[in-house]
Amino acid sequence: MHLKSPQMSSNEPNRLAWEEYTLELEGGFPMPFWRVSINGVARWPEARPFCASDGHIKLGECTICGNCGLLNTIVRRAGKSIVWLGDAAIELSCREFAPGEALCFDVSEYLKVIGHGSTFLPVLNSREIRAELQLQSIPDPRDGLYRDPDSTFDDMGRKMLALSRDIIEGGAEWTCCEPPAVYNEIRVGLELPDVPEVIWRVGAQGDQICLQFVALPRLPAWVTADWSTDIRERLREVCF
């Protein structure tokens, strides 16, 4: 574990681009569509146009009637980021984003690409954070190997996985927070074939402990919660 300042990684903001075109639907009615790209790769060729203040968007629309596509992606503010994620109120099979697949964008870049209005977006709330985390697979604490790969007797990996379950399954109220100036990136190796490490980023702002879940589970936003004294002490033990 080592101190580091924020830098590029899989949880860093994505590059968003779109191209508008028009299709003629049933009855000869023309309707605009967008081809939406992420990081230079075409992702959604039949999205409905949206603006930066839209809290629900259609990334896939029917090109016959132009009306039966689902508003299955929610858009939320999370500190200095915009997050796209699946709507927990919709069946998993109908969601554009499975749990753990959320995308994030820098607020200022999002405004440049989409237009004005992101300040009117709802903030990612406790219910949405909890749903996104709880629907992901959390490794069993018994499968944790290490936090420090150079230490044969390091049991912090198992402690961290046990803490992860208690945090995610607990009833604390989650809130988004600003990224800390400096954070620890913690990796826990797993005794499982072909499974990557559990990765957390942990920092502090005053007395507030801030988390970003990078892998198993994953949520590309900095969050904190009103944890109990026991949880806070365990976080300090395994993360600092």
Q: What is the mean pLDDT of the chain?
A: 89
Provide the residue ranges of all domains of the chain, joining segments of one domain with +.
Answer: 16-123, 129-239
pLDDT, one tens digit per residue, over 74-88 is 999 999 999 999 998
pLDDT surpasses 60 at 3: no
pLDDT confidence band for 6 (50 / 70 / 90): very low
Indicate whether 29 pLDDT > 70: yes
d(CA 126, CA 123): 10
| Alpha carbon distance 20, 154 (integer Å) | 54
Candidates 3.40.50, 2.40.30, 2.60.40, 1.10.10; CATH matching 129-239: 2.60.40
pLDDT of residue 8: 37
Q: Which strand ranges, in their side-by-side order, compose the sheet holding 41-47? A: 16-24, 30-38, 41-47
H or E stretch covering 235: helix 229-239
